[in-house]
C-alpha cells in the first residue's frame, strides 16, 4: 500500500495491527517560516487516519514500512498457507 503524506513528519507516523485491522495515523505539523505572519489561510492541516481489514490473509509479524520524502510504502506479505500452490500433473 502506498500513502502520500505531505507535511507529515516520520516520527509522527504510527502503524498498528489490532484484531486483524491495520491502522495508520499521522499528524501534520505546520510550522510557519521564521518572521512570517499569515493574515488568511486557504487550507487547514489535519492528521491522517486510515484503517484496513487484513482478513487473516496477511502475516502481521512480517509487515514492513519504508518512508521517504512524504511517501510511505507498507508491505503486507501473505501468510504461507494463503499463498497459491502449484500442483504438478504427472502424465502416464
Residues 26-55 have pLDDT tens digits of 887 666 678 877 777 766 667 788 999 988
Q: Which of 3-7, 19-23, 67-71 is predicted least confidently?
A: 3-7
Residues 6+ apart with CB under 8 A from 64: 74, 75
Residue 66 has pLDDT above 90, yes or no: yes
pLDDT of res. 78: 86
How many other β-carbons are positioned within 10 Å of the β-carbon of residue 69?
A: 7
The per-residue pLDDT for 80 is 79
> Which pLDDT does position 82 carry in this prediction?
63
Q: What pTM does this model have?
A: 0.68
Q: What is the pLDDT of residue 2?
A: 93
Amino acid at each position: 500500500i502506498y500513502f502520500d503524506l505531505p507535511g507529515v513528519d516520520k516520527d509522527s507516523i504510527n502503524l498498528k495491527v489490532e484484531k486483524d485491522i491495520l491502522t495508520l495515523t499521522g499528524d501534520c505539523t505546520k510550522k510557519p517560516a521564521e518572521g512570517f505572519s499569515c493574515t488568511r489561510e486557504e487550507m487547514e492541516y489535519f492528521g491522517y487516519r486510515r484503517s484496513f481489514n487484513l482478513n487473516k490473509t496477511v502475516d502481521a509479524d512480517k509487515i514492513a514500512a519504508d518512508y521517504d520524502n512524504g511517501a510511505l510504502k507498507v508491505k503486507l506479505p501473505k501468510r504461507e498457507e494463503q499463498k497459491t500452490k502449484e500442483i504438478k500433473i504427472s502424465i502416464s
